Amino acid sequence: MKKYPYSTSEIVESDIASVVEVLKNNYLTQGSKILEFEQELQNNFKCNHAIVLNSGTAALHLIYSILGVGPDAGLLTSPITFLSTANAAKMLNAPVVFADVDPLTGLLTPDTIEKAIVSSSIKIKVITLVHLGGKVCDLEGISKIAKKYNCLIVEDACHAPGPLRVNKGNKEVINNTCIYSVACTYSFHAIKHIAMGEGGCLTTNDDYIAKLVREKRNHGMTKNKDEMKFLPEDNAKWYYEMHDMGWNYRADEMSCALGLSQLKRLEKNIKERKKLVEEYYNLLSQNTYITLPLKSYNNYSNIWHLFSILIDFKNLGKSRGIVMKELEELGIGTNVHYIPLFLQPYYRKNQLINLEGAMQYYNATLSIPLYSGLNKEDIRYISSKINEVII
């Protein structure tokens, strides 16, 4: 029996050759591949700067630290996200406020964000939007709320790589990233559209932010002679200075070579996923217990990192655990994205909250297989078994 994980990476011969080339050149870090990768990301993502890092978490931590997130300047974000979106702020001892989400999409909305800001006693400095599963938040609407309350926007776009894709009529128009935000953060984890194994990047149109990110990813070091405060002599090529706190958030050359090779297939990858989604729509749309994820939201196309369906478990008469077990026995892997962060023991210890939209989304969501390497025949098999289990 063939097995279908809910997601997996696609590694082809060109990926392997790119990594082997780096190994043969014996220059394993801080070489030419990271520069080449950053330039291609900058071109592809339509931004002024792309800085590659060793994880999406590092990208979040760096931008939060640069923007002044801390004990007196809190973060507002979605509870339907991976741990790092909020944890990166807690690493800076900042308070975190969770806003509710649309129960159909799992996304923050202008209304839920404003309600959370107004009802919180915490001063919010940064609003981090999570483009869940590839669905893009209402950037224009949320930017108006952020401006009203003097907040900055960061995009956690780990599920939605590449430029913004705006639907105008029947035509998809490519827009620049970071139009409404000071920065976008991305993950290039093993199961993302672009896989480095572990890795990520930050994009921004702000020259000063980009400069600080580059310094802080490398221990806060600078070797720029014009910035030196205590240069010992004119030809001190060994000399460097640290003017502020930084971390080792560098990515190695092998990972960058893999990421660069994968980036070349990004558009092909997205198109393939869209074709698979159409097949899911044809085969699952008649199942009355299932609500399918939206193909577009707020006029932005879904980039399809995940295919997360909503299931009416109550009327189905089966628990989510039973459904997942029955599908697993048929070779179909599933997962849940995500457990609301306010349910985690770490966040519960301060205050137990219950956001209705987040709980409604969480109680219904289930991610089913979607990744490069699947074909229409695979989707037909997966869908037939889902319709056998969910009936």
| In contact, 58 and 249? CB cutoff 8 Å | yes
DSSP string, 36-69: HHHHHHHHHHT-SEEEEES-HHHHHHHHHHHHT-
Q: Cβ of 30: how many Cβ atoms within 10 Å?
A: 13
Q: Which residues of 190-212 are buried (b: 16+ CB within 10 A; e: fewer)?
A: eebbbbbbbbbbbbbbeeebbbb
Please give the Cα distance from 177 to 164 (Å, whole number): 6
Q: Mark out the alpha helices in the chain (DSSP H runs).
A: 13-25, 32-45, 56-67, 84-90, 110-119, 139-148, 207-216, 253-263, 266-284, 313-316, 320-329, 345-348, 356-364, 376-389
Quick: pLDDT tens for 23-63: 999 889 999 999 999 999 999 999 999 999 999 999 999 99
Q: Is the pLDDT of residue 309 over 90?
A: yes
Q: Is the pLDDT of residue 171 over 90?
A: no
Q: In this structure, which amino acid lies at residue 48?
A: N
Q: Which two tokens stand for residue 191?
A: 């199961």
Q: Do domains 13-265 and 268-389 have the same CATH topology?
A: no
Please give the Cα distance from 184 to 186 (Å, whole number): 7
Q: What is the CA radius of gyration of the chain?
A: 22
Residue 300: strand, helix, or coil = strand
Q: Cβ of 343: how many Cβ atoms within 10 Å?
A: 16
Nearest to 336, CA basis, from 80, 108, 100: 80
Q: What is the pLDDT of residue 245?
A: 95
Q: What is the pLDDT of residue 167?
A: 87
Q: Is the pLDDT of residue 156 over 70?
A: yes
| In contact, 200 and 182? CB cutoff 8 Å | no
Task: Give domain 268-389's CATH superfamily.
Answer: Aspartate Aminotransferase, domain 1 (3.90.1150.10)
Q: What is the pLDDT of residue 351?
A: 67
Q: Delimit the domains of the chain by residue range.
A: 13-265, 268-389
Please give the Cα distance from 247 to 194 (Å, whole number): 24
Categorise residue 300: left if φ over 0, alpha if ψ from -120 to 50, beta otherwise: beta
Ramachandran angles phi, psi of 248, nearest 5°: -90, 85
Q: What is the pLDDT of residue 121?
A: 93
Q: Is the pLDDT of residue 379 over 70?
A: yes
pTM of the predicted protein model:
0.96
Q: Which two tokens stand for residue 277?
A: 């989604």
Per-residue pLDDT averaged across 287-305, rounded? 95
Segments of 116-199 assigned E as strands: 124-130, 152-156, 164-168, 171-175, 183-187
- pLDDT band at residue 168, thresholds of 50, 70 and 90? confident
Strand 241-242 with 300-301, pairing:
unpaired
pLDDT, greater one: 153 or 297: 153
Per-residue pLDDT averaged across 106-123, rounded? 97
Tell me the CATH number for domain 13-265: 3.40.640.10
